[in-house]
Amino acid sequence: NQQQTPAPAPPQEDGNGNEEGSGDSGSDTDPVDSGEVPDEVQFFNYPFMADPRNIDGAMTNFMLDLTIIGNVHQTMTELIFVDEVLTMVPGAAESWEISEDGLVYTFNLRDMNWEDGQALTAHDYALTLFRALDPNSGSVKAGDLFNIENALEYFQGNADKEDVGIRVPDDKTLEITLKQVTPYFINLTYAGLFTPTRQDMVDQYGEQFGIIGDSILASGPFKVKEWVNDVHLILEKNENYWDADSVLLETITFKMIRDVQAIMSELMNGTIDRTSVTIQEWRDRLITTGNFSYGDYVLAGTYFLIFNTDYEVNGVKPLSNVKVRQAISAAIDREEATFMLRGDMAIPATGFIPSTVGLDNHNFREVTNYNPIEAIQARVPDPKALLEEGLAELGISINDFTIEFLAGGTTAQHRSEAEFFQEVLQRELGLKLEITQVETAVRTQNSRAGDFGITYSLWYAGQNDPGIYFNNWLTNLETHSYKTGYDNQQFDEYVLAANSTMDEEIRRHNFNRAEWLLAEEDCIVAPIYHPISSMMTAKYMRGFVNQNFAPTAFKTVYTVGRE
Amino acid sequence: MSTVEKNTSKNFDFEFDSNKSLYADGIVRPSLNYWQDAFRRLKKNKVAIGAGIILIFIIFMTIFGPSISGHSFTQMNRQMVNKPPSAEHWFGTDRMGRDLFTRAWVGGRVSIIIGVVGAIVNVVLGLIYGGVSGFFGGRVDTIMMRCIEILGSIPKMILIILISLILKPGIPSLIVALTIAGWIGTARMVRGQVLQLKEMDFVTASRALGASPFSIIKEHLVPNVMSTIIVLTTIQVPSLMFAEAFLSFIGLGVSSPNTSWGAMCAEGQQVILFYPYQLIFPTILISLTMLCFNLLGDGLRDALDPKLRR
Amino acid sequence: MMEKILEVKDLNVSFNTYAGEVQAVRGVSFDLKQKECLAIVGESGSGKSVTAKAIIKLIHDPGVIKKGSSIKYLGEELANKNFDQMRKIRGSEISMIFQDALTSLNPTKKVGHQVAQSLIIHQKMGKREAFDKAVEMLRFVKIPNPERRANQYPHEFSGGMRQRAMIAMALVNKPNILIADEPTTALDVTIQAQIIDLLKDMQEELNTAIVMITHDLGVVAGSADRIAVMYGGMIVEQGPKKEIFYRPKHPYTWALLNSVPRLNTKSKETLYSIKGTPPDLIQPPLGCPFAPRCEFRLNICNEKMPTAYPIIEGHDAKCWLLDERAPKVKVFERLEV
Amino acid sequence: MAKYFLKRLIYAFFTVFIVITITFFLMHAIPGDPLGELVGRLPQSVQESYYAKYGLDKPVYQQYFIYIQNLFLRGDFGESIVYPGRSVNSIIARGAPISARIGIQGLAIGISLGITLGIIAAYKRGKWMDYFVMFVALFSISIPSFVFAAVLQYFLTVRYQIFPVTGWGTFAHTVLPAMAFGLRNIGVKARFMRSTWLDVMGQDYVLAAEATGMSKFDVTFKVILRNALTPLVTIIIPELAFIFVGTFVLETIFSIPGLGTYFIAAVSARDYPMIIGQTIFISTLYVTSMLVLDFVYVLIDPRVRLIKK
Amino acid sequence: MSKLIEVKNLKKHFKVGRNLYLKAVDDVSFYINKGETLGLVGESGCGKTTCGRTILNLYDPTGGEVLYHGRNIYDFARNEMKSYRKDCQIIFQDPYSSLNPRMTVETIIAEGLRVHNMMNTKDARSKVHELLEMVGLNREHANRFPHEFSGGQRQRIGIARSLAVDPKFIVCDEPISALDVSIQAQIVNLLIKLQSELDLTYLFIAHDLSMVKHISDRVGVMYLGSIVEIAKCDELYSKPQHPYTKALLSAVPIPDPEVEENRKRIMLQGDVPSPINVPKGCKFSGRCTIAKDKCFEEVPVLREVDKDHFVSCFIDQ
Ligand SMILES: Nc1ncnc2c1ncn2[C@@H]1O[C@H](COP(=O)(O)OP(=O)(O)OP(=O)(O)O)[C@@H](O)[C@H]1O
Ligand SMILES: Nc1ncnc2c1ncn2[C@@H]1O[C@H](COP(=O)(O)OP(=O)(O)OP(=O)(O)O)[C@@H](O)[C@H]1O
Ligand SMILES: [Mg+2]
Ligand SMILES: [Mg+2]
């Protein structure tokens, strides 16, 4: 039995304007002043770096798509900051219950209508789940649902639809039965999979469903007005939304802008109203204009080095020795790396789990009170000596080999990262790296095949749960995103134990041990920094609510005093 | 045939010129071989010579420039990040505090090597292919030209990208990728020339003397396409450098830690608003080099033009 | 005596080239009378074509007609005329046929239209009318099937027909002067005879005066009235045809006349030949341009340019041998000096 | 004539066919996986169903035959992998006209200015004006287009907000990219035109035309231009084929929804159907342009006859 | 006198299209005696060059044979062919394209010596000097390049090149037509001198009939790929038989005003027809002033009308 959770896998990994950050505070815009009068005409322009692919919650995994879905559909629940604490609040479900054994989830839906006035029922929500599980649809989301009773069997064609633990007792109730305790499952309810789909639309549009504007029938605050591929996607207010009264924006225009510089220029020129900025120079310049309010958010992500213990060069496996790995991890000054590669747009890593990820309503880093980077640096005062020691155990000398460093991709940023580590390891340890810079498509293939020595990567948290971070290093996995040859029963036990209980205490302990193994004791990964995103918003914008780990919803947004 | 009366005049002017050697039979031009003559003409072309001198300077700098500055091109410096040009760092520093002056010349090495080697490979391939096709003519020619036509109709960019992906990244594979599409034009041109030369009387004369095809190629065809080839090579260098810059822009250029002017331009373009010097210096270098190669090419074209002068 | 319709005096033309100033024509003077055929003969590069082009001021950059040159057409000075004034004369009063008929016809324009061109320009004719006239003209120059041919392009014509088309083009406006630059050089003898015949007919029927440029003395013997012999950018001798043929005074003319075999000379007998090569016009010799190759060179020939010595009315030659101080020379049985 | 073109057409067809074959196999030979990023972290069974959906589970030769079948029987280029549900046909149909618009405008700028400058330089040969024009031309060739485009964008959109930074729809959106596209063309065309013009100007028939008393204007436009156009057309027509596929650099910098970005993106994402579809599109255009060229030759240059008599 | 070269029914057709042949040389027969000069005249495009080159096996013949010393050269084995190549040389019309602009005069002239391995470099050099002097240049010219010479001088270099391999037979393909009148005489004189000194045999191709008469012993007249008349020089010029020959002779301009004034020309109508669609019957019939019906139907064959005087015409038959 394997558990895999999807990462949000944003196509551009450093959220250049595409993702909403997972910040530490509720709103980055100026506090709502009740005396303000909203503008007559309400609109909002927002950049996207690529065309959305599929506006269909059952199918897509992409941040762009999910952002649109989050605004045209009503998710089952919503996740927002309430008094600076991320809290799940009712969405389509007015309330929900989880059974004692943690296996049965019951959602009670409110009265809602589709864009065209037809009533929305629990069947519509079930349809999305079934479509995701339909083996013919080839959905990338199916794996998320395999913990549902008989879901995997259904997917493989061994079970009937009726046997699957997705049931609709009445039009207003959706009942999900799991086959085992799944702590993260509730996190799925505020994302794309728990949005409604209407059968007649699917029938009508077939292959084109979710791909052309007309096929998208809204259930949320906005409906699709126009979608011109690669140019823009325009949403307008959905008058049939159950909470339409509180929606002020008339239109939202998602502009496709491919070039980061261009996005910044448009923001300067006022042709877009908000974006996430990850380039320090731009951030500083935009701030000095005084036209923007901003907030810097540490994103729920970690950049980290991954060591391939199976990497073989000249007949030896230099990275199979834990001392070698620890020496490398300890040799890197996180401050320097952060400054050189990100400037102010990152903070040095405090652990493998990002500083903003929570564990059942608490901050994981705070509750574990453990910093593997500090720990390893304290443990290894002289990395070079440890490296020699490790190499001596392997019977090789430092000049005998170079290690292949698989860069993250082909952009200038990836280039700098690779060059940085090459230079630093050479300087600190005398260790030579040889950089392989290949396109993402090849890079993914290489890392999956274990065709690298060291590689540098980023993981963003798709859900507010540490569990997903560890899955890749489980031993008996069919597919690894990074094949490192890491094989430690102990680690597997920790992770599985944490993932199959709802008990916070047990989970905390086991996750802590797993992180300790991964980042310190066995040192398979070396976390470097957590990225920061600066949300730049035009001064006249109001009402942004951060929904960490869920697509941003713009239903509360409005403008005051736009010129 | 003619009779000349005895000279009766006392006037020296009206005596027959006793110097019977008819000097007009001599040759007016000084004896120079073809290349000397061409070089003489090239020397008169101030612009081309200027361009040549600048190029030599640039090449000199790519060899010795990195050691002049006293900085290594990979050495980072936390204190000196994104600094504008100064006495310490003549071209400023980049985002990792590396000396851009040093990097510019190291990058120049790659750009120029790719340009020059690529052009040479292009030309050699084109020479051989076009030469064979043109010389043998007939069926062989038809088939070879068909092949070229097919290769020519595969989008160049696809070829370049595919090849650079099939081979392991690095300068050699970049060169292969860039030349795979480039030699076609050369081959066509060489073929045209050979077809023309083949019909020239001096080749017929050589055949009449019983010379073998091989010696005809070696002695008559190759030397005569040479000037076209030289000009073509100089003109191709810039276009190859350009192509490399484009590949760098889309992230398929040289791999780290090496850099090239194209890669530096691509990086500089990102920060054009903040640190324009990071874009300006590599751009000036790349443009200047291209300009010089083009000007030199133009000059060579004039100087080497085998107008059989009458 | 017939009227002079063209008087060229002291014509100097130079080209400023890379290597230096090419003095292509140096002090050429000649007259042309009505209905007369003046032949200019001379070695390749001696300045014949440049002289011809200079008459209608078709010398372009880098060439210049030097100050002091005078070209009088019917008493009018052409040297001072500007482009538009010259335009009125070109093609209507004075026409020109170029050396190479293939390259002188616009390859992208139908022959009929090319012939009609100067009618449209000078007679303000309509296109249709001009074209019909052009067809007539093609018929006149004996192009078979002129209606069809007028609609063809030059490359569809044979060499002889192209030359005829060129002649038709030059003659549509019945010019007073026709300048024919080697009209037959590229052609076969049988075709050459046809063209020469044609030119003679023109002269008769249209009263055209012809300046014919050639290096073939045979052609000259048949068609010219007067002959000018050019060498090294100068006219070294000029006079009536028979004077030049039977009583030449310049050693270059002698050489020219003797270097060609006739059908009646003896087989395999050594021909007279001029040694050496023509002078470089960038630095022309100080004295007589022919001196370096001249068998009868006097000392003065190397230093001083001879002036034209009149022989009889209308015949003069530039040679020091004609000076009274010079030794007398007797050349060839047939020719007396 | 018709027979000749039919023959050429068949040749062209085979050329494209071979191009398809080569590209198809070459593409599958290179490392990388179109679905890797998409499904990399999914369970094996989900992955398999995904591969099966795109027919990528079959051996390459089978995929090839299926592709060829679909292509020739239904003219179907397949469906994009990166943009599921979108047919390659529709992407090309949408993107190509946009790319072409930029290309045509840019080419128009390049050709008109290039020709004018080239002619001026030819007439002023050896004068400072000639040197100046040729220097400018060379310079325009020597600047990488992405640098020029970036500078243009910075000055005309950020500094002086004359044009919109990005986007598509109005004429204003096309101005900057067309300018950037045109720049290089100006240089190339000016240089080409100058030498062609000088060539034609030196021909005897130009002198002969003048000797008929033609005005300078007529000589320039009716004789020289007409004859100098032939070589120009021969270099422009193949270029016309390529404008439909756009330029990656400009389309990225100015966010133009043309084909250029799709093309490069498709290659780096290994979006097989997209790559092949576009390759077919490009090579068909190219081969067609060659055919058109032959045809145009016959029209504009009477000396060219396809069949010897 | 022995026949050095005998051409029998030689044919050379160029393929110019699908099933379309250009009959450049069409059934030509003649012979050349040792030590004599055969002149070959005819209008442009009538096949003179092709004929000369086919004899030297520079073109593959379409049919017929060329006998050298009585043996067919097309049957020669490789080494025999090589020695034939040495014995038979060619001089070209265009003194500009016939010399490789990138080679020194010495390498040009010595090329044949290298090809046939005739002597070592040192001997080759003195041979080159000897040849240069023989053709009226001097040894200092050996290290120069063709572009430094005038047309006449270049033509001499071409002659020296062909003489280097001690040939017996030289095809002179219009060696003087590109030259100035004043230079032509030099070359013709040189050729005549060399012939008597080296006992050479010439096939002298030209369209200048006066020159041909001057240098040749016998003259052949070609028209559209066929020989229409061939005879001793004096005989041909004094008693031409074929109407084409007559027209040709009557058209030759003579540099003597009095002669010219009293001449009667036979004016031919029209141009030479294209060799791709040759007229039926006698090829000349279309332009012939005295053609009879038969001429349009039947092809005349070359027949001997007088001793060594052959004509292919039905007139007087
Ligand atoms: N455009 C030019 N530029 C430079 N020199 C020129 C130009 N045109 C002619 N000349 C020079 O002027 C001289 C005379 O040339 P011209 O054409 O008049 O000779 P020609 O007597 O007509 O010779 P040919 O018999 O070969 O036609 C030559 O030396 C030639 O090199
Ligand atoms: N390689 C070839 N391919 C096709 N046709 C050819 C070839 N060589 C010659 N011809 C044609 O054969 C005919 C005879 O040509 P050839 O050169 O023998 O004529 P020629 O008598 O030497 O003419 P000229 O006096 O112009 O030199 C011409 O019509 C010519 O176009
Ligand atoms: Mg001339
Ligand atoms: Mg010939």
Task: Write down which chains contact chain A via at least 3 CB pairs under 8 A.
Answer: B, D
- Least Cα separation, residue B43 to chain C (angstroms): 13
Ligand 1 pocket residue status of C48, Cβ below 6 Å? yes
Domains of chain D, first to last: 1-79+270-309 (no CATH), 95-262 (1.10.3720.10)
The ipTM, to two decimals, is 0.81
Minimal Cα distance from E55: which residue of B? B208
Residue D28 contacts C, CB cutoff 8 Å: no
A29 versus D271: the higher-pLDDT residue is D271
What domain range includes position B134? Answer: 52-67+91-308
Query: Bridge partners of C227?
Result: C39, C239
- Rounded to whole angstroms, how far apart are CA atoms B68 and B108? 15
Question: Residue with structure tokens 């081309």?
Answer: B48
Is the confidence at residue E315, as pLDDT, over 80?
Answer: no
> How would DSSP label each residue in C201-220?
HHHHHH--EEEEEES-HHHH
Of the pLDDT bands very low, low, confident and very high (cuts 50, 70, 90), residue A273 is: very high
Minimal Cα distance from D308: which residue of E? E17
Please report the pLDDT score of residue B4 as a whole number.
Answer: 52
Of the pLDDT bands very low, low, confident and very high (cuts 50, 70, 90), residue A175 is: very high
Of the pLDDT bands very low, low, confident and very high (cuts 50, 70, 90), residue B21 is: low
Q: Is A390 exposed, middle or buried (0-12, 13-18, 19+ CB in 10 A)?
A: buried
Position in ligand 1 atom list of the atom nearest CA C42: 21
pLDDT digits (tens, 9 = 90+) for A126-159: 999 999 988 777 777 888 888 899 998 898 888 8
pLDDT digits (tens, 9 = 90+) for D53-97: 778 888 888 889 888 888 888 888 888 888 878 889 988 998 899
First-to-last alpha carbon distance for chain B, in angstroms, is 33
Residue ranges of domains in chain C: 4-93+173-322, 101-172
Contact in structure between A192 and A141 (CB atoms under 8 Å): yes
Decide if B41 is inside a domain: no
The mean pLDDT value for A4-19 works out to 32
Closest ligand (CA of C42): 1
E259 versus A427: the higher-pLDDT residue is A427
**DSSP character at residue A119:** B
Decide if B276 is inside a domain: yes
Query: Bridge partners of C28?
Result: C11
B283 with D19: Cβ contact below 8 A: no
SS3 content of chain A, % helix, strand, coil (to 5): 35, 20, 45
pLDDT digits (tens, 9 = 90+) for D168-199: 878 888 888 888 888 888 988 898 898 889 88
> How would DSSP label each residue in E17-66?
ETTEEEEEEEEEEEEEETT-EEEEEE-TTSSHHHHHHHHTTSS--SEEEE
Give a three-class secondary structure readout of D161-225: CCCCCCCCCCHHHHHHHHHHHHHHHHHHHHHHHHHHHHHHHCCHHHHHHHHCCCCHHHHHHHHHH
Output the ligand 2 site: residues, CB below 6 A. E 14, 16, 22, 24, 42, 44-50, 207, 275
Minimal Cα distance from A262: which residue of B? B270
CA atoms within 13 A on the CB side of C215: 24
- To test the pocket of ligand 2, the residue of E20, E46, E174 to mutate (highest count of ligand atoms within 8 Å of its CB) is E46
Minimal Cα distance from E58: which residue of B? B208
Decide if B132 is inside a domain: yes
Residue A45 contacts D, CB cutoff 8 Å: no
Counting residues of chain C whose pLDDT is more than 90, the rounded percentage is 28
Residue E15 contacts D, CB cutoff 8 Å: no
pLDDT digits (tens, 9 = 90+) for D10-31: 888 888 889 889 888 888 887 7
Is the confidence at residue B131, as pLDDT, over 80?
Answer: yes
The mean pLDDT value for E150-170 works out to 89
Task: Write down which chains contact chain D via at least 3 CB pairs under 8 A.
Answer: A, B, C, E
Tell me: domain C4-93+173-322, CATH 3.40.50.300, correct?
A: yes
- Compute chain A's Rg from CA coordinates: 24
Is the confidence at residue C263, as pLDDT, over 80?
Answer: no
Q: Where are the alpha helices (DSSP H) in chain B?
A: 34-44, 46-69, 100-136, 138-153, 156-166, 171-198, 201-208, 213-216, 222-249, 261-270, 276-304
Mean pLDDT, all residues of chain B: 81
> How would DSSP label each residue in D210-277?
HHTT--HHHIIIIIIHHHHHHHHHHHHHHHHHHHTT--HHHHHHTT--SHHHHHHHHHHHT-HHHHHH
Please report the pLDDT score of residue E310 as a whole number.
Answer: 92
Decide if B181 is inside a domain: yes
Which residues of chain D are within 8 Å of residue B157 when distances are taken between CB atoms? Answer: 248, 263-264, 267
Here the tokens at position C195 are: 């063209």
Closest ligand (CA of E272): 2
Question: Residue with structure tokens 């398979």?
Answer: A524
CATH number at residue B170: 1.10.3720.10
Is the confidence at residue E252, as pLDDT, over 80?
Answer: yes
The mean pLDDT value for E254-282 works out to 81
CB pairs under 8 A between C and D: 79
B158 with D139: Cβ contact below 8 A: no
Domains of chain E, first to last: 3-311 (3.40.50.300)
E254 with C197: Cβ contact below 8 A: no
Task: Write down which chains contact chain B via at least 3 CB pairs under 8 A.
Answer: A, C, D, E
CA D223 to chain centre: 30
CA-to-CA dists, residue E278 to A67, B105, C81, D307, E20, angstroms: 82, 71, 53, 19, 12
pLDDT digits (tens, 9 = 90+) for B248-294: 877 777 877 888 888 888 888 888 888 989 989 998 998 899 888 88
Position in ligand 1 atom list of the atom nearest CA C22: 5
Q: What residues does the ion ligand 3 have nearby, CB within 5 Å?
A: C 49
pLDDT digits (tens, 9 = 90+) for B134-152: 888 888 888 998 888 888 8
Residue C274 contacts E, CB cutoff 8 Å: yes
Position in ligand 1 atom list of the atom nearest CA C47: 18
E100 with B306: Cβ contact below 8 A: no
- Number of structural domains chain B divides into: 1
Report the candidate in C173, C169, C144, C170 with the shortest Cα–Cα distance to residue C157: C144
Please report the pLDDT score of residue C210 as a whole number.
Answer: 93
Mean pLDDT, all residues of chain A: 85
Please report the pLDDT score of residue B32 as a whole number.
Answer: 57
pLDDT digits (tens, 9 = 90+) for B68-118: 878 888 888 888 888 888 888 888 888 888 888 999 999 999 889 988 899
Centre of ligand 3 from the C-alpha of residue A192, in Å: 87
Q: Which of residues 400-459 of A touch D (CB under 8 A)?
A: 410, 438-442, 444-446, 448
Lowest mean pLDDT among A10-24, A93-107, A451-465, B22-36: A10-24
Please report the pLDDT score of residue C16 as a whole number.
Answer: 85
